[in-house]
Amino acid sequence: MALTIKKLAHVQLANSKGDIYDPAASTIGLVHQIVLHNTNTSAETVELLIHDGSNEYQILKMSLAADDTFHWDFPGEGLVIDANSKITGKTTTASKVTCYICGSEET
């Protein structure tokens, strides 16, 4: 299996739940860091979830102050997102929170 370090996602979150990172078939994503930045002039409520193919589980719900940045590190192997899983999320106001996910993929 090959391991490739890469940007896994770089999106502006919507105000309704949508896919952020969904690995391709036969790929395992290893998330090492998630960075969230609020470009709005007011606080935003950010939610991140993991969908395992059948169920969805909230992994983060936070208020992110105006012009604030949140770094979330996953040491070691990282947060494992297999081919049947994906990261979804949303925020209060569409296109105001940038979400950047870096890590590696095992294929």
Segment 13-19 mean pLDDT:
98
With bands split at pLDDT 50, 70 and 90, how would you rate the model's confidence at 1? Answer: confident
Whether 10 has a pLDDT exceeding 80, the answer reads yes
Instruction: Give residue 66's Cα distance to chain centre.
Output: 19
| Distance between CA atoms of residues 107 and 104, nearest Å | 10
Sheet holding 44-51, edge to edge: 18-21, 86-91, 44-51, 56-64
What pLDDT shows up at residue 27? Answer: 96
pLDDT digits (tens, 9 = 90+) for 80-105: 999 999 999 999 999 999 999 999 99
pLDDT in tens, 26-69: 999 999 999 999 999 999 999 999 999 999 999 999 999 999 99
Q: What pLDDT does residue 39 have?
A: 98
